[in-house]
Structure 1
């Protein structure tokens, strides 16, 4: 495929993503609203639990598409894990032990326990102790919170109040603060060929906190004792520093991964995709990240994935020694994925035909450009009002408290914003007054849900 054709595909894809919910303005607004949501939920929950929440992953970054799950990072704020800890009477103090662990993982030793509450996460018996006699903390320790919740890896899934509004499940990922700075120091100091991230960003990110989450390295003999080190909020900040075309690459590569690559290789997850985009952003000259280079960036990303598979190492962006495909791709699956990527690289921009939802939206842009623009303006307006409503309701919602015990607060939140709620309903269902007069209440609910779904065509 010629360079001119790829440029045309790039412009077509870019304008479609802008129209159907991924222009930079709306992704930034989405992320900002979820930051407010997290702050509101944390403010309420900290009155009951020593937990602070942060919406992370695609939703928190503003790049969630379709009905993908929402990830809420739940950090136990009375606990900190350090490489060289000093005992603090007001905190549970943990110490890292990297012996025998893969890069990006650590065993955790309890140095000081603040509370003797029977439901405390450190109220357990363990046969594993350090040379100083302190107990190791198994990653299952945090599952004490999981009563009545479905355990899903390091995340705990449940139907949430948000499900009623944006049709998704919420995963609570429990974690502790991690204060080790060696990984971030090495990350900030390593050589880079181009100017991303900027020096000011490197300085900002290198001072941010990390987390340990309760999941061990699968091939390890001590998997149950290991915790994964991650820099979730730092990665979220980095996504915000991608330029408009790199952000489009992010959402496009997520679609390629989910629709095209994961049926062939499950190891190419959305988290792998995010790390690939970071490496591409760091390793690409600014002039190659223009509006007509989206297909070039996509092909560069697919080639990078192929190269990593061939070399059995796909590096984590923050901790390059950590292999994101370690124990994930073997034998025939690996070779078939490499061969498949080779075929995809020959297709250029035409790879989009393999993503039915995106291709349908692109076709609609060609058939009815005026109506597509009108739709785009409407959907952005609806989403902004939806997000504002969710933020408002989050001021009256507390995690882990049954909804029936919070219904009066949520009702009061609606009633306190009745004019805004009516404007919102009229935006979604302009036929509302006539339908109310005709008693078509079931039809109103149906239209409300259908039109909310219509804002998520991608």
Structure 2
């Protein structure tokens, strides 16, 4: 079995794990049938492999088009959008802005091979909580270093220059030029949130980081998943540091968090359908049932649970007939994490993702009891999830019809965004609205809106402003 996971279970034979203490033959058959039906439903709800891939491709193309016009920073879409798991307006767009010309190096890594114009910081992890670091400036500054970086340099107790994460975020926030109709929101950790109509964006500044020691320890673990080629690819992608310290640290304003956004995107893309469905369902449980108000538990918590499950179990066991088995396993891991206030970070197991989560005893007891009830409810537990419940009620014909229209509307909007980028002039400002492809996309969006509006009226629904339909479909 895989090493490095404190939840390591006994090896199971191939196929669906069948613990005779938990399941009778009859309940196993029921579980398998319900799992197969749930896979069909998840495809209808927009979580199938084809739409996931279309979303990933669209956001990668959008990054490419925008980066072709940018200088100084590289834009990378991360989170659920890059994973292909959410619609256009369904959740925030997580955007990482990577500052060019700056590199952070793990202690002992030689900087001589880097271009002379690169400004180099070294990671000082010894004084920070696992997965966090201070950034000490080497006696080497690049040809061009942004003024906001110079203004954020501080001296430590030994007179060495280090970069304050809090000052960097404050400087970026103060110099961030808003676009017309954009609403800026209060800073959230390393993120600067904003919204433009129904589109919500979380922007995070970051630097590239070279930490071969950390990645080697991750790569050398014994595992069932991911396969060796994905492991090698994740290692080559390196890491980043983002401006947020450990919540419980006295010096969090000086600390940075080490993260592996692009590598995690690759890992999530290599999960099979069953593992993706478990991830989505567990996220729904956190959002719609547990409902944390201060991010005591997040979708990132759930992501790490699923990554550990994938690494430590044979991939053949994750099949369409085992969805409810693995959902129960995921709920059990979530319950354990809440009960013990402990969940190891998949990339750096020494970092406890539940540390300083702010979970009080009352919340803990309530959530543990709720999850226990869900584990005992079997397939009926999904009736607690509003989106699943509505889908079951409308299944099959209305749901199938609506899903077809919704998917087409989403793909059209993804194409629209990228086509607008392509139709901008060389300065990236004025859009050529006469472009034939742009006109064709807009025309089909109008036609779809009319089709949905007509059926809504026929079935007794009344919507005063039919222009709201595309936004409502893509939420």
TM-based fold match above 0.5 = yes
Matched, 1:216 2:245: yes
Structure 1 residues 445 and 159: alpha-carbon distance in aligned structure 2, compared to 1, 3 A threshold: farther
Q: Is the 8 A contact 1:52 1:77 kept in 2?
A: yes
Matched, 1:63 2:85: yes
Q: Shift in Å at residue 349 of structure 1?
A: 1.5
> Which deviations, in whole Å up to 9, do the C-alpha atoms of 1:78-104 show, x marking residues without a partner?
111002352653111111111221110
Give the whole-Å Cα distance in 2 for the aligned partners of 1:224 and 1:292. 48
User: Equivalent residue for 1:154?
Assistant: 190
Structure 1 residues 146 and 371: alpha-carbon distance in aligned structure 2, compared to 1, 3 A threshold: same
Give the whole-Å Cα distance in 2 for the aligned partners of 1:391 and 1:294. 35
Give the whole-Å Cα distance in 2 for the aligned partners of 1:455 and 1:103. 39
Q: Secondary structure at the match of 1:159?
A: strand
- Of 374, 378, 394 in structure 2, the residue corresponding to residue 364 of structure 1 is 394
Give the whole-Å Cα distance in 2 for the aligned partners of 1:264 and 1:378. 34
Alignment of 1:186-265 (within 5 A): 186-192=217-223, 194=224, 196-263=225-292
Q: Is the 8 A contact 2:153 2:162 kept in 1?
A: no
Q: Secondary structure at the match of 1:409?
A: coil
User: Equivalent residue for 1:277?
Assistant: 306
Q: Is the 8 A contact 2:73 2:99 kept in 1?
A: yes
User: Equivalent residue for 1:52?
Assistant: 74
Give the whole-Å Cα distance in 1 for the aligned partners of 2:452 and 2:260. 47
Q: Shift in Å at residue 396 of structure 1?
A: 6.0
Q: Shift in Å at residue 265 of structure 1?
A: 8.2
User: Equivalent residue for 1:343?
Assistant: 373
Structure 1 residues 218 and 373: alpha-carbon distance in aligned structure 2, compared to 1, 3 A threshold: same
Q: Is the 8 A contact 2:135 2:162 kept in 1?
A: yes
Alignment of 1:245-324 (within 5 A): 245-263=274-292, 266-324=295-353
Which of 22-31 and 328-337 deviates more? 328-337
> Which deviations, in whole Å up to 9, do the C-alpha atoms of 1:278-335 show, x marking residues without a partner?
1111223223211121111111001112223333320111111111100113433333
Q: Shift in Å at residue 55 of structure 1?
A: 0.7
Give the whole-Å Cα distance in 2 for the aligned partners of 1:33 and 1:261. 32
> Which deviations, in whole Å up to 9, do the C-alpha atoms of 1:317-367 show, x marking residues without a partner?
1111111100113433333332332222111111111112221112211xx
Q: Secondary structure at the match of 1:152?
A: coil
> Which deviations, in whole Å up to 9, do the C-alpha atoms of 1:22-56 show, x marking residues without a partner?
1110011101100111111222222xxx1100111
Matched, 1:334 2:341: no
Q: Is the 8 A contact 1:188 1:202 kept in 2?
A: yes
Q: Is the 8 A contact 2:122 2:137 kept in 1?
A: yes
Matched, 1:421 2:442: yes
- Of 80, 90, 114 in structure 1, the residue corresponding to residue 117 of structure 2 is 90
User: Equivalent residue for 1:402?
Assistant: none
Give the whole-Å Cα distance in 2 for the aligned partners of 1:350 and 1:55. 36
Q: Is the 8 A contact 1:364 1:372 kept in 2?
A: yes
Give the whole-Å Cα distance in 2 for the aligned partners of 1:177 and 1:313. 28
User: Equivalent residue for 2:16?
Assistant: none
Give the whole-Å Cα distance in 2 for the aligned partners of 1:35 and 1:216. 29
Q: Is the 8 A contact 1:310 1:338 kept in 2?
A: yes
Q: TM-score, normalised by structure 1?
A: 0.85
Give the whole-Å Cα distance in 1 for the aligned partners of 2:335 and 2:424. 45
Q: TM-score, normalised by structure 2?
A: 0.82
Give the number of equivalent residue pairs: 424
Q: Shift in Å at residue 211 of structure 1?
A: 0.4
Give the whole-Å Cα distance in 2 for the aligned partners of 1:248 and 1:428. 29
Q: Shift in Å at residue 236 of structure 1?
A: 0.6
